[in-house]
Amino acid sequence: MLHSVPVAELWLPFGARGDPGFADALAAARAAGTLVREVGRGSPRRAVGELVVDPLWPPHSGAGSRNQRSLVVRISAPEGPRVLLPGDIDARAEAQLLALESDARADVLLLPHHGSRGSSSAAFLDAVAPRLAIASAPCRSRFGMPHPGVRARLAERGVPLAWTGRDGALLLALRGAPDPHGTGAPARCP
């Protein structure tokens, strides 16, 4: 990715420089001359053009698996939706995040951990109160994401689901109502 798209900064969660799982990303950043920052809860918000990016997770002293320490950011646009990008956090990390974050609301939620069975808890969905959920997952995978239980929790709350495996790559305007547009022909997913 760093070779095909100009990247000014690569944000990684606190502690990532010492994690062997990030070695390739760090090497690519060095080769491209890209600045690397470790960020998470307590890091200052950043303005990127008109967008404001708030790092919400992980805490600096966070422990747990790489998924539980995923970087979580919320992007806000002045005349558009707030978008929550929760990485691969699971229900345990969701609960810990909610215990620290008094306002977790977002108009658009990228489903945590691709909508796996152990994520997108009812409490998390209620706190975020999305108007749209996006699943970044293939149509058919051995893990079955987004999990039927997650899809049921979204349906119970009347939250529409855009799904890359079904709808293709998604484009989402950051002005006005969150209305994703799939770029491919819709696929029939289970």
Whether the upstream peptide bond of residue 78 has omega within 30° of 0, thus cis, is no
- Looking at domain 40-176, its CATH class is alpha beta
Q: What is the pLDDT of residue 1?
A: 60
DSSP E strands, 33-79: 35-39, 46-48, 51-57, 72-76
User: For the segment 65-104, what is each residue's pLDDT rounded down to a tens digit?
Assistant: 888 889 999 999 888 889 999 999 999 999 999 999 999 9
Instruction: Give the contacts of 9 (CB within 8 A, at least 6 positions apart).
Output: 34, 35, 36, 37
Q: Which of 46-50, 109-113, 174-178 has the lowest mean pLDDT?
A: 174-178
Is it the case that residue 161 has pLDDT exceeding 90? Answer: yes
Contact of 84 with 108, CB cutoff 8 Å: yes
What residue segments make up the domains of the chain, in order of their start?
1-39, 40-176
Q: What three-state secondary structure class fits 77?
A: coil
User: Residues of 38-69 as b/e, b for ≥16 C-beta within 10 angstroms?
Assistant: bbbbebeeeeeeeeebbbbbbbeebeeeebbb
Q: What three-state secondary structure class fits 184?
A: coil
Q: What pTM did the predictor assign?
A: 0.90
Q: What is the pLDDT of residue 175?
A: 76
Is it the case that residue 4 has pLDDT exceeding 90? Answer: no
Q: What's the whole-number average pLDDT of the chain?
A: 89
Is it the case that residue 179 has pLDDT exceeding 80? Answer: no
Q: What is the pLDDT of residue 10?
A: 94
Give the Cα separation of 77 and 148 in Å (integer). Answer: 31
* More confident of the two residues 185 and 29: 29
Q: What three-state secondary structure class fits 97?
A: helix
Q: What is the pLDDT of residue 185?
A: 64
Q: What three-state secondary structure class fits 168?
A: coil
User: For the segment 95-147, what is each residue's pLDDT rounded down to a tens digit?
Assistant: 999 999 999 999 999 999 989 999 999 999 999 999 999 998 877 777 777 99
Give the Cα separation of 61 and 26 in Å (integer). Answer: 21
**Average pLDDT rounded to a whole number, residues 176-183:** 71
User: Residues of 87-117 as b/e, b for ≥16 C-beta within 10 angstroms?
Assistant: bbbbbebbebbbeebeebebbbbbbbbbbbb
Give the Cα separation of 96 and 4 in Å (integer). Answer: 36
